[in-house]
Amino acid sequence: MNELPTVLEAARCIADGSLTSEALVRACLDRIGEREPQVQAWQHLDMDAALNMARHLDRCGSGPLKGIPIGVKDIIDTADMPTGYGSPLYETFRPPRDAACVALARHAGALILGKTVTTEFAYFQPGKTRNPHNPDRTPGGSSSGSAAAVASAMVPLAFGTQTAGSIIRPASFCACVGYKPTFGFIDRTGVRPFADSLDTVGVFATTVQDAAFLTSVIAGRPNLRITNEEFRPRIGLTRTYAWEDAEPATALALDEAAARLRAAGLEIREVELPERWRGLLEAQKTIMAFEAARSHVPEMLTASDHLSAKLRELLDAGALIAPEDYDAAKALLAEARAGCSDVLDELDVLLTPSAPGEAPEGLGATGDPVFNRIWTALGVPCISIPGLTGPTGMPVGVQVVGRWGDDRRALAAAAAIGQVPLSA
């Protein structure tokens, strides 16, 4: 097996007996042997245990995900593997039970291959992972290991989380599909909290169809599955109020992508976001800092010297935010959510950048989530699809944004957009 099949292909072949989970897992482990020394996407990996589980699933496994290997971001609890939250405080921690998303995946027959690297408590302090396209550049964060592992073909699927831009941005930097569902679609029980109003579990995959398939199973929403039906989405191109942060090459690439989509016969029109939405970026920051300061009180009170300076700075700032400022940010967010349908009037999705540009050089930071914060705050479905390149040839994704709860339409639109070559 020279390359991994898509998840849908693998599931069909395992079901009809033409492929075994053991063969698929061996292909993943062979790829890990080739790429992991450079990429360093994995925090915990037990190859013998993975092969033993694959053999067990081949003998008596069942379910729609039977034998499919999945990587799990290391802020998501796993009972049979350590969960370190990217922090030295928890490097030997072993949770008593699986997170809900992990338990649901296992119940559907999936194989948890290992734990992928996360930034510290899913904030900005980088882990060891490097960009699979250039080891001197960041893979993004906080779901750095999951994005890099999928983009490197080490595993066909991986769980991630997003509180600001932790799925969409690394998917863009690493060139894979990143899907942040509508807030709450995937249960967060057993996922280390950062900011309760924002934390969202999502997935990385090589195709939109695979991301939709995994989510349909663990979220109990079979209508999310994408088939090959013809769908010509109506697209609104929005540059958002953060457009000044877009690198010039990104602006040109997005315009080129829009032109190619129009040439393919898709309807695209420019969309201006409501003036009131100018405050959403700061509102998201306020909510995240205020809630993070409270979710990390145990560590701050007992072991603050073991936290990074970046995290302590956020937590200190969050503790100083006045409750009325937090409440005002939440009120603005509620107002904006109520107006989302008006923004998408007569459109299926919005198209906007996934990130300001290519993955930045260096490994000391994970990039800027400026093009992700407001959509995370709104809780709407977002999908980053690869297809563009920056001035140095590094990957750049585009972000498809849908209506709250209408993930099926957003995924179908992303799949249709992904079929059009977006750059020369």
Which active-site residues does the annotation give?
A: 73, 142, 166
Q: Beta strand 42-45 with 349-353: parallel, antiparallel or unpaired?
A: unpaired
